[in-house]
Structure 1
Amino acid sequence: MLQRLSTVSALALACAVVVSPATAEAFCGFYVSGGDAKLYNNATLVVLMRDGTRTVLSMQNNYQGPPENFAMVVPVPVVLQKDDVKTLPREIFDRVDRLAAPRLVEYWEQDPCAPDVFMVPGAPTKKMASTGKGGGGGAPADYGVTIEAQFTVGEYEVVILSAKDSNGLDGWLRDNKYTIPEGAEPVLRPYVQQGMKFFVAKVDVSKVSFGKDGQAMLSPLRFHYDSESFNLPVRLGLLNSSGVQDLLVHVLASERYEVANYPNAFVPTNLEVKESARAEFGKFYVALLDAVMRQQPGAVVTEYAWQANNCDPCPETPLQLEELVTLGADVLPSYAGRVKSADGSASWQVPGEFVLTRLHARYGKEALGEDLVFRAAKAIVGGREVGQAGKLEKGAQPGGTNTFQGRYIIRHPWTGPVTCKEPIRGRWGGPWPDWKGGGGAKPQAAQGLAFAERGANLGMYVAQDMPELQVVAADEVPTPKQEETKVEAKTEAKVEAKSESKTAETVTNSGAGCGCAAGETDATGGLAGLLGLVWLGRRRRR
């Protein structure tokens, strides 16, 4: 994800991250334009399923650009056939993202004099192989490129390529009228040396509808393969990186996953935040994420690890069996024979056997030199409305079952009368019957982070200091009207101070005073000027 769209001339990224329609850059492959067209990639979500040596990769791509044909290129470890590739409904990706996204919850303190009732806030109440000159354009012998398979799926015309060397692959793409940037060959080289194949999914634009804004919503793609290694190719996506990108990966497997070749970190959770965070939740969250990544440069941050069949609190209903089948459970060795019985009924126990892990990385062109390699990790807990000795879990801790989430809380203390002798405080639940504030009981998911404003003062949102991130809780973020009032007040104070200074100067010159008023006036004027700069600085950051 980027803060703004990046124009990619010839080679754009193919597997972008974040999920909502307002997300940006990609990572696991690249787009190869069918001419000199400029392409924009502004929304892709990736979901990985893993079982034994089987990997299922599902990805969603949104892009903006002229209606020319182009191709998406992704390195894969084996030759894929038509039965290995499917198109998916777009809605499934938003479901996964909302379920695993960091969430904002609001709780209201219940009547301290009401009977003591145990409450759990937010509880969920065939082969087509050819070689040499096959099908979609010949592969000259001197290029050493072979078309291993070719087929059509939806609007995609797929070709699977193998290559003897990266120079040959580079030349083949150029000879077949694909404009690729300088510097592609060295990045292709390690994939060719590893014997990787290249999934080239050319889009027939005549089968795609473009919106008024020029954005085409392509059908998401899913394909699966077997490989001992579990990784995600990201280096190709860095060729045209024009800035910092966000990489968001969701993994569905029988256990939690983390990266093996980069540092791992966990997002702080169970933070009490001010009401200003409600209207600017995305802005608050990216400020928090950036603070974590400044403290642990290069880390991949775990934001969610929870059983796929439940959540607490739930911004979205848990995943259902048919959705897991859509994402690839039907081709996983341990589940393929169980997701549907002989009589057509489903095995609904399957969702509870999956853990949904969400990993978030943020990187630039020079910062991510290796593909992401994943490994299984132990279960963690954190971010629940439970704790020990009245203290909530503030971070990831070892646990028997994965129940970790990024959760941020606005609390509304009881404001009604307290009529009993022994009030019980600290019982939290849903809104009061007469609540007329701006909040609601449903959790708010942090989506569309690609374009969330960055650089906010994190201290303006949190209700307590965070010494581990060197964050001090500050005053509420001022509204424009408040800023205007403050500036006016300070201007009036400065004018008044100058008037007093003039009076003091007159008194001093007349010999009737000690002369210290002038010094005090300088200090007052300097302080007013400093405060004015502070407020102006805050305005610029808004």
Structure 2
Amino acid sequence: MHRTLKKTLFAAASATAAITLTGGAVAFCGFYVAKADTKLFNKASKVAIMRDNNRTVITMANDYQGDLKEFAMVIPVPVVLQEEQIHVTDNAIIDHLDAYTSPRLVEYFDEDPCTQYKYREMAQNASAIEEEITVTGSRADSLGVTIEAEYTVGEYDIQILSAAQSDGLAQWLVANGYKLPEDAEATLGSYIKQNTKFFVAKVNLEEQAQTGLKYLRPLQIAFESPKFQLPIRLGTVNADGKQELFVFGLTRSGRIETTNYRTVNLPTGMDIPVYVKNEFGDFYKSMFQEQVEKENGRAVFMEYAWNMNWCDPCAADPLSAQELRELGVYWLENGSGGAVQPRRPGPQAQDVYVTRLHVSYDAQTFPEDLVFKETGDKSNFQGRYVLRHPYKGDATCEAAEVYRANLPERFEKEAQTLANLTGWEIEDIRKKMNDGSQNFSPPQPEPWWKRLWGDDGGKG
């Protein structure tokens, strides 16, 4: 089946979107306040990858906005995919996974220092944790392009292509209405040398209308391959600036890490000024950019790594077994018929380890596709930032005096930490601390003579 195509199409701005066509834990002693999810970034792509040995399920959430008839996506894939290996799922599942693993802001409130509450122990716990044309098959053959398979899955028309040479594939794409950016041919050629196939998807408008949806749902592909990698280079060919990519790895062995780029833990566990509660989005973006610059733009940052069983604190409820199964976690079944086990109340072993990686990339800093490995590391990690509200009561014991005397040093340390994390000017930080909720004036002790004569000075 050879479908009529519009001359101008647009490639999805997903992480794998390839061608742009036009244009053990201690209980948590505080509470979760806010999360830094992917909505903070305008060019954020989300990809979930289930990996178990050679089995892989990739779920690609597109952030495409525009006329759906102008949408198209080209993705390098290692094998020819059969129709049953392609699926469409719901955005809500990826959104849930995003919310669950997002860096978070938590807060504590100091207790009465006279109770000698153990701040140090609390601190240690916090730190640990769019003229129509038709191209026939013979034309494709003459260009060395083979249409291996064609399907309609959900609202998408999909073709699986193989090619003998990059110029033939480029000509085929152009003849089919795709407008290629400069340098795309060279990048296509590098994939062809690896015997890579190409997954081409565009919207079937009739099918899309039947869904009643105003957005595109995530596409999923399942396959087996010894290669554990994510193609990102085609997405950089005509990118306008850096792209933000969030990868959610689902395994049962432990964390996933990149092997061809440094995987770096995001700074975590720091105490920062309480006024950041109202500026958490700005804080997180500035902090992340500062870390990217420190690594010369060439690192992959780990923002979360934890068993799906539980979290401390949770920025959202853990995903259900049904949601995890939809994302490819096939081993969540019982022994009697493959039914997904219902989630029981309270902590339980889901046998799914989730890793959240964040990459800010372009063609210069990330010239290679991301190559991953499964590790056996099941240690817990989350990006977490702590607000500690000072006690403002009238405590008058000796411990309270010591506590208040130490507050200026504590506030200055928080200011310095915030400046180091974000690159913000220290004087601006201090001013906000003094003007905002962190301004703290300890109560003045009662004059000693009042204890002698009372308020009237003995005149009454």
- Classify the TM-score, shorter chain: 0.7 to 0.9
Aligned residue-pair number: 383
| Contact 1:62 1:216 survives alignment (8 Å) | no
Q: 1:412–1:376: structure 2 CA closer, same or farther, 3 Å change rule?
A: same
Taking a change above 3 Å as real, the CA distance of residues 106 and 85 of structure 1, as seen in their structure-2 partners, is: same
Conservation of the 8 A alpha-carbon contact between 1:247 and 1:361 = yes
Q: Which letter does structure 2 place at the counterpart of 1:476? A: I
Name the structure 2 match of 1:151. 151
* Separation in structure 2 between the aligned mates of residue 269 and residue 191 of structure 1, nearest angstrom: 38
Note the residue ranges of structure 1 that are not aligned, 5 or more in a row.
1-8, 15-24, 123-134, 380-400, 427-458, 483-542
Distance 1:344 1:374, change over 3 A: closer
Give the match for residue 219 of structure 1: 217
Aligned residue number for residue 60 of structure 1: 61
Task: Return closer, same or farther for 1:345/1:178 CA change in 2, 3 Å cut-off.
Answer: closer
Mark the CA change 1:56 to 1:462 in structure 2 (over 3 Å): closer, same or farther. farther
Choose from 418, 423, 426 the match for 2:395.
418
Q: Deviations over 1:157-199 (max 9, x none)?
A: 1111111111111111112222222321101001111111111
State the 1:200 CA deviation: 0.8
When normalised by structure 2's length, the TM-score is: 0.74
The one of 339, 346, 353 aligned to 2:341: 346
Residue aligning to 1:374: 372
Aligned to 2:284: 285
1:373 partner amino acid: V
Alignment map for 1:458-537 (pairs within 5 Å):
462-465=414-417, 473-476=426-429
Quick one: percent identity of the two aligned structures? 38
Q: Deviations over 1:474-512 (max 9, x none)?
A: 443767xx8xxxxxxxxxxxxxxxxxxxxxxxxxxxxxx
Cα distance, 1:27 vs structure 2: 2.5
User: 1:404 matched to which residue of 2?
Assistant: 381
Q: Is the 8 A contact 2:304 2:357 kept in 1?
A: yes
Contact 2:56 2:223 (C-alpha < 8 Å) held by counterparts: yes
Letter in 2 for 1:267: L
Higher relative contact order (CA 8 A, sep 6+): 2
Structure 1 residue 424 displacement after superposition: 13
Report the Cα offset of residue 267 of structure 1.
1.1
> Are 2:15 and 1:30 equivalent residues in the alignment?
no
| Cα displacement (A) at 1:365 | 3.0
Q: CA deviation at 1:91?
A: 0.6
Residue 247 of structure 1 is matched in structure 2 by: 245
Report the Cα offset of residue 329 of structure 1. Answer: 1.2
Q: 1:371 to 1:148 in 2, by over 3 A?
A: same
User: Secondary structure, in 3 states, of the residue corresponding to 1:64?
Assistant: coil
CA distance, structure 2, for counterparts of residue 303 and residue 461 of structure 1: 24
Report the aligned-residue RMSD: 3.5
Partner of 1:274: 273
Secondary structure at the counterpart of residue 188 of structure 1: helix
Task: Name the structure 1 match of 2:450.
Answer: none
User: Aligned partners of 1:363, 1:343: CA distance in 2, in Å?
Assistant: 40
8 A contact 1:150–1:159 mirrored in 2: yes
2:94 counterpart of 1:84: no
- TM-score under structure 1 length normalisation: 0.63
**Structure 2 regions of 5+ residues with no counterpart?**
1-6, 24-41, 127-133, 404-410, 436-460
Q: For 1:463, what is the secondary structure of its paired residue?
A: helix
Distance 1:198 1:73 in 2: 6
Deviations 1:109-165 (A, max 9, x none): 23345597999899xxxxxxxxxxxx9852522211111111111100111111111
Residues 343, 271 of structure 1: alpha-carbon distance in 2 compared, 3 angstrom cutoff: closer
Distance, in Å, in 1 between the alignment partners of 2:228 and 2:319 is 23
Change (3 A) 1:64 1:468: closer
Q: How does 1:180-219 map to 2 (within 5 A)?
A: 180-208=180-208, 216-219=214-217
What residue is the counterpart of 1:529 in the other structure? none
Q: Is the 8 A contact 1:460 1:473 kept in 2?
A: no
Indicate if the aligned counterparts of 2:9 and 2:69 stay in contact, CA closer than 8 A.
no
CA distance in 2, matches of 1:27, 1:304: 19
Name the SS of the counterpart of 2:415 in structure 1. coil
Q: Residue 64 of structure 2: SS of its match in structure 1?
A: strand
